[in-house]
């Protein structure tokens, strides 16, 4: 029986290790993780309870042992020898593999302006602990980047009474992944909560206590956090000669250009049915790709076809997006008292949906909409817009048809 080696003990790597066992694999599984902790979830880092950083472990040491997963904590893979199929580790050991999973995730993009070293990143537990141990009421924080992570962090910091400014190069925050309707609503909510926005602004320079903007103005800060997105961690794959682009390129089976090596999660750019490779940065994507990769590494032959989905919590609001809304899609809005759903149709066919409302209020409808998308329906837009029409009935009639 061959050994499975998994590099990266984040959401994807850890889930893959357990999923390989669930698939009946009885050989050795080694999980190599650079961070000095048990595997943990990243989303709770930007959603701390009572303002305290939460380390939410994905599994216990006992669960790893019970599943026969050998976890090498605080050890990184330094090099791959794909010809002889072994991995060289930072502690000098070598590990032979029959199948290898690259689940190396992503790392924060760095600013290129003078003084960039004065900023803190926000990706790991150590980053979060460093930030939250130093902030409090009345402190001033500048967050560079008005994307999901920057906006979530702003919401948490406002909750602690911190004075928060967001500097964003685009003219609006949340422009990348969030549908414009909900990006605008979240922007307004942040303004009401007192977040100061500096939009359409590049950074001239960063000093230890201020961010100097392109227009010459400066925003003072006790702490400056860079949240300008992430880059896929592809260095190992590149050095080993695997095909890479905006991620480690895989086919639809999550196999890289080397048939013994798979990739999953934030580092993987997966071949799409319509051509091209797509990389997603979300918790559920990391888990579902890991499960498919694990089954394929243990004898399965499954294409990865899960609908992209992510959520974000800001203040008391929960956002969920399923599928990939595009500007050319027809959009249909369904309004409730406190929340809204938006459906996206491509030539009449439902392809994506999003919702925003208090707590997890939109979760049930988003789940039903995901089912509708899976059925492949072209629903009547007026039925989608009407809150009195239960989405379950649309699923039933689509199935009957």
Ligand X SMILES: Cc1cc2nc3c(=O)[nH]c(=O)nc-3n(C[C@H](O)[C@H](O)[C@H](O)COP(=O)(O)OP(=O)(O)OC[C@H]3O[C@@H](n4cnc5c(N)ncnc54)[C@H](O)[C@@H]3O)c2cc1C
Check binding of 312 to ligand X (CB under 6 A).
yes
Give the interface segment with ligand X, choosing from 42-50, 294-302, 356-364, 393-401 (CB under 6 A): 42-50
Those residues whose C-beta lies under 8 Å from the C-beta of residue 5, and which sit 6 or more positions away, are: 30, 32, 87, 95, 97, 99, 100, 101
- What residues numbered 380-399 form the site for ligand X, per CB under 6 A? none
| Closer by beta carbon to ligand X, 3 or else 123 | 123
Of 322, 48, 333, 47, the residue nearest 185 (C-alpha): 333
Give the interface segment with ligand X, choosing from 33-41, 212-220, 327-335, 336-344 (CB under 6 A): 33-41
Check binding of 310 to ligand X (CB under 6 A).
yes
Least distance (Å) between residue 347 CB and ligand X: 28
Those residues whose C-beta lies under 8 Å from the C-beta of residue 224, and which sit 6 or more positions away, are: 118, 119, 120, 141, 142, 144, 206, 211
- What residues numbered 180-239 form the site for ligand X, per CB under 6 A? 233, 236
Contact in structure between 258 and 267 (CB atoms under 8 Å): no
Of 345, 349, 341, the residue nearest 368 (C-alpha): 341
Check binding of 42 to ligand X (CB under 6 A).
yes
Tokens for 178?
């969030």
Give the interface segment with ligand X, choosing from 183-191, 217-225, 308-316, 363-371 (CB under 6 A): 308-316
Least distance (Å) between residue 283 CB and ligand X: 4
Residue with tokens 């939250």: 132
Check binding of 262 to ligand X (CB under 6 A).
no
Check binding of 240 to ligand X (CB under 6 A).
no
Give the interface segment with ligand X, choosing from 49-57, 278-286, 333-341, 358-366 (CB under 6 A): 278-286
d(CA 358, CA 82): 49
Max Cα distance, the chain (Å)? 64
Q: Measuring CA to CA, how many Å separate 9 from each of 12, 110, 232, 275, 278? A: 7, 23, 15, 30, 22
Laid out side by side, the sheet with 218-220 consists of: 203-207, 210-213, 218-220
> Among 69, 224, 234, 281, which residue interacts with ligand X (rule: CB under 6 A)?
281
Check binding of 331 to ligand X (CB under 6 A).
no
Chain positions contacting ligand X, by CB under 6 A: 7-13, 32-35, 42-43, 45-46, 76-77, 103-106, 122-123, 149, 233, 236, 265-266, 281-284, 286, 310-312
């Amino acid at each position: 029986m061959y050994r499975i080696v998994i590099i990266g003990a984040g959401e994807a790597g850890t889930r893959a290790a357990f999923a390989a066992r669930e698939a009946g694999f009885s050989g050795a599984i080694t999980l190599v993780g650079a961070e000095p902790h048990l595997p943990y979830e990243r989303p709770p880092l930007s959603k701390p309870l009572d303002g305290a950083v939460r380390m939410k472990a994905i599994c216990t040491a006992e669960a790893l042992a019970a599943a026969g997963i050998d976890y090498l904590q605080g050890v990184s893979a330094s090099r791959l020898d794909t010809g002889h199929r072994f991995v060289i580790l930072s502690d000098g050991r070598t590990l032979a593999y029959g199948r290898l999973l690259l689940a190396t995730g992503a790392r924060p993009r760095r600013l290129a302006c003078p003084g960039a070293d004065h900023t803190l990143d926000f990706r790991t537990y150590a980053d979060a602990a460093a930030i939250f141990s130093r902030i409090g009421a009345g402190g001033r924080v500048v967050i560079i980047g008005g994307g999901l992570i920057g906006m979530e962090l702003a919401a948490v910091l406002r909750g602690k009474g911190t004075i928060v400014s967001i500097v964003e190069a685009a003219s609006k925050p949340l422009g990348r992944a969030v549908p414009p309707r909900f990006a605008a609503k979240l922007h307004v909510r942040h303004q009401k909560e007192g977040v100061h926005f500096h939009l359409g602004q590049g950074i001239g320079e960063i000093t230890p206590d201020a961010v100097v903007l392109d227009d010459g103005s400066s925003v003072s800060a006790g702490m400056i956090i860079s949240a300008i997105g992430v880059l896929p961690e592809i260095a190992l794959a590149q050095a080993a000669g695997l095909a890479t682009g905006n991620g480690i390129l895989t086919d639809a089976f999550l196999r890289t250009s080397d048939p013994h090596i798979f990739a999953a999660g934030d580092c993987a750019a997966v071949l799409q049915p319509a051509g091209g490779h797509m990389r997603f940065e979300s918790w559920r994507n990391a888990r579902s790709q890991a499960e498919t990769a694990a089954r394929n590494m243990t004898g399965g032959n499954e294409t990865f076809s899960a609908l992209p989905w992510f959520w974000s919590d800001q203040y008391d609001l929960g956002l969920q997006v399923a599928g990939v809304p595009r500007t050319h899609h027809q959009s249909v809005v369904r309004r409730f008292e406190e929340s809204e759903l938006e459906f996206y149709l491509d030539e009449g066919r439902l392809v994506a949906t999003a919702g925003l409302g208090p707590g997890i209020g939109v979760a049930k409808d988003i789940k039903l909409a995901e089912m509708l998308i899976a059925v492949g329906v072209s629903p009547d837009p007026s039925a989608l817009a009407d809150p009195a029409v239960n989405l379950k009935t649309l699923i039933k009639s689509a199935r009957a048809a």
